[in-house]
Amino acid sequence: MDVSPQDEARPPALVKRFWRGDWLIWLALLVTVAGPFLLATRDAGAPGHHDRRLVILTPHHERIRQEIGNAFVADWRARTGETVYLDWRTPGGSSEIALFLKSEFAGAFEYDWTTRLQRDWSQPLAHAFADPRTTDRSSPREWAARQAFLASNVGVGVDLLFGGGSYDFQQQAEAGYLVAGGAGIGLLALRDRHPDWFTPEVYPEAVSGEPFRDRDYRWMGVELATFGIVYNRDVLRRLGIAREPEQWVDLTDPRLAGRIAMSDPTKSGSVAKAFELIIQQQMQQAVANRLAAGEQAGAAEAGGIREGWREGLKLIQRMSANARYFTDSAAKIPLEVSRADAAAGMAIESYGKATEEFVRRPDGSSRVGFVAPLGGTSLSVDPIALLRGAPEPRLATEFMEFVLSPRGQKLWALRPGVPEGPVSTALRRLPVRRDFYTDANRLYMTEPDARPYAQAGHFVYHPDWTAPLYGAIRFLIRVMCVETHPEQREAWRALIDQGLPGAALAAFQDLSGFDYDEVQRRIVPILRGKDKLVEVRLARELSAVFRERYERARRLARDGRNRP
């Protein structure tokens, strides 16, 4: 080892202490960098001994994981004597889960393709194997890869996907990540065991246009989900707003500027669904108005869809302009409202009602309220599904059977401590099973007056109107609201200061180039394509368009102020 002149001048003991100190510093750095990885290999949540392990991918929060998981573990131990460890994986919301599955399955199938099948891998195959648009008309190699994947048992070390929106589950099913099973596993096995479950009287296939289970048995709804407005009564009162919100349009009140909590729809599937429903409500109202005016049914529908599309985007635009900022998780919105950081926000019903309950005072009142806009939200589901290549497919099937059974369904809606209810936390969610809603069960429900299937008739979801544009809705809100939010808020504040002058407001809500047909023609094909670089360029281009329009609106408002 070379010694520097400075070290030669030092006493030997000093040199020794120097190198010892240097070594300790490097050791500390090594521990700092490697520590998280070392800790990640330890399964701190696993019991000291377990006979079986079930890996579940979920966006569900800890209270749900704890109540549902502990009940299943106890039930399984009582029936079999075995200890099951539920290994919950929580990478984030629906968007993060989708990215996780896409990445993991791509890596797993590439390994299978190149090792077991001994074939060459390529970038086109990486897209084609999980693309439902890959058909026998595609290239022979891409078609072969798609067929090989669908016939394989390639897995990613995860057994179940539990929780999220039906749209996201259908996307994963079409990709081939979810399987129906058979021969004793999956939903096909449960259909054979319990044919009475798969009937309109228990688990309907669809309600008011919303799918409740996959026709090919790759996923099935477990609990009901609807969307609405969570609000803080104290904040609304301080802002001089006496009437509590009832409809989505109430979130556009200029007095709420900077006081609305919203989430990025590209990060949250549930929030994206809520935005879609806002647009659908405007479409339905426009169609109804045209029919009432005597327009023929076909023309009324075609015209109403396009009119409602524009009005829905404008409504979302004004709501966004009132937002404080966009969070990356729908679960954060009720928290911000409960802390009075926001006056109101969009929320899943279960999140909103759980927050209302959490801050309830001893006298029964609560500063937080929740409302599902009548005619402005549909009844949908949070599903469960078996993943391709599940390490424990039979145990996974038993878990699905438990959560779909009368016993498992009670955990969602009963009060803590009652027979067959949760142990410590009210989940305040509504079961999918129609036969759950009996007088006997209502005695123990946290929401005994809930009539979800009766209320579903106020809103009929038309998938053909907006489902093909679901990705485009997310994309448009991203470029129109999320990425341009500072400019949007500044323009909105200028408009409010000047009493929302007509010319400035028209510039602010200029949606030329983004009508229903133009979006289908120009944006949808790019989003469905395989070139992400083109998508990024389009996002940059359209964000610049909206920034320019917001700046123009701000200038018009400012110029109006300076006029005598």
The pLDDT tens digits for 250-278 are: 999 999 999 999 999 888 777 888 999 99
User: Where a domain ends, among 404, 428, 450?
Assistant: 450
Spatial CA neighbour of 377 closest among 204, 194, 546, 224: 224
The pLDDT tens digits for 141-176 are: 999 999 999 999 999 999 999 998 888 899 999 999
Residue 275 lies in a domain: yes
Q: What is the dihedral of CA 4, 6, 7, 12, to 10 degrees?
A: 160
If one compares 547 and 4, the residue with the highest pLDDT of the two is 547
Q: Residue type at 178?
A: L
For residues 147 and 149, give the distance between their C-alpha atoms in angstroms, rounded to a whole number: 5
What's 243's DSSP letter?
Answer: S
Judge if 432 and 481 occupy the same domain.
no
Of 231-245, 404-418, 454-468, least confident by mean pLDDT is 454-468
List the alpha helices (DSSP H) in 462-531.
463-466, 470-477, 485-497, 502-508, 516-518, 524-528
Of 21-25, 128-132, 271-275, least confident by mean pLDDT is 21-25
Query: Taking 50 as the threshold, does the pLDDT of residue 6 lie above it?
Result: no
For residues 70 and 416, give the distance between their C-alpha atoms in angstroms, rounded to a whole number: 14
Q: Which residues contact 155 (CB under 8 A, 6 or more apart)?
A: 108, 387, 388, 389, 390, 391
User: Where a domain ends, among 409, 428, 450?
Assistant: 450
Residue 370 lies in a domain: yes
- Please give the average per-residue pLDDT across 171-200, as a whole number: 96
pLDDT, the chain, mean? 89
For residues 425 and 446, give the distance between their C-alpha atoms in angstroms, rounded to a whole number: 11
pLDDT band, residue 378 (cuts 50/70/90): confident
Judge if 56 and 196 occupy the same domain.
yes
Decide if 483 contacts 539 (C-beta within 8 A): yes
If one compares 160 and 17, the residue with the highest pLDDT of the two is 160
Q: What b/e sequence results for 420-432 when a residue is b if at least 16 CB atoms lie within 10 Å of its CB, and e otherwise?
A: ebbeeebbbbbbb
CA 364 from chain center: how many Å?
Answer: 31
Residue 551 lies in a domain: yes
Query: Taking 50 as the threshold, does the pLDDT of residue 40 lie above it?
Result: no
Given this model, what pLDDT does residue 226 score?
87
Judge if 386 and 535 occupy the same domain.
no
DSSP-derived pairing of the beta strands 380-387 and 178-179: antiparallel
Host domain of residue 527: 227-377+460-558
- Please give the average per-residue pLDDT across 246-253, as a whole number: 96
- Please give the average per-residue pLDDT across 334-338, as a whole number: 93
The pLDDT tens digits for 282-318 are: 999 999 999 999 999 999 999 999 999 999 999 999 9
If one compares 68 and 13, the residue with the highest pLDDT of the two is 68
pLDDT band, residue 23 (cuts 50/70/90): very low
For residues 386 and 402, give the distance between their C-alpha atoms in angstroms, rounded to a whole number: 14
Judge if 283 and 356 occupy the same domain.
yes
The pLDDT tens digits for 524-562 are: 999 988 688 999 999 999 999 999 999 999 999 988 754
Given this model, what pLDDT does residue 160 score?
98
Residue 173 lies in a domain: yes
Element containing residue 282 per DSSP (H, E):
helix 269-292
Query: Taking 60 as the threshold, does the pLDDT of residue 25 lie above it?
Result: no
Given this model, what pLDDT does residue 532 score?
85
For residues 224 and 219, give the distance between their C-alpha atoms in angstroms, rounded to a whole number: 14
Give me the count of residues in the chain. Answer: 564
Share of the chain above pLDDT 90, in %: 73
Given this model, what pLDDT does residue 26 score?
41
Query: Taking 60 as the threshold, does the pLDDT of residue 86 lie above it?
Result: yes
Query: Taking 50 as the threshold, does the pLDDT of residue 445 lie above it?
Result: yes
- Which CA distances in Å does 16 have to 10, 22, 39, 165, 184? 10, 10, 33, 63, 68
Q: What is the pTM of this model?
A: 0.80
CATH number at residue 528: 3.40.190.10
If one compares 323 and 4, the residue with the highest pLDDT of the two is 323
* Helices 532-562 and 485-497, packing angle to 10 deg: 20
Element containing residue 456 per DSSP (H, E):
none
Q: How many domains does the chain have?
A: 2
Given this model, what pLDDT does residue 45 score?
53
Decide if 90 contacts 59 (C-beta within 8 A): yes
For residues 184 and 45, give the distance between their C-alpha atoms in angstroms, rounded to a whole number: 30
pLDDT band, residue 357 (cuts 50/70/90): confident
Judge if 359 and 497 occupy the same domain.
yes
- Please give the average per-residue pLDDT across 181-192, as a whole number: 95
CA 448 from chain center: how many Å?
Answer: 27
Q: Residue type at 53?
A: R
Judge if 255 and 347 occupy the same domain.
yes
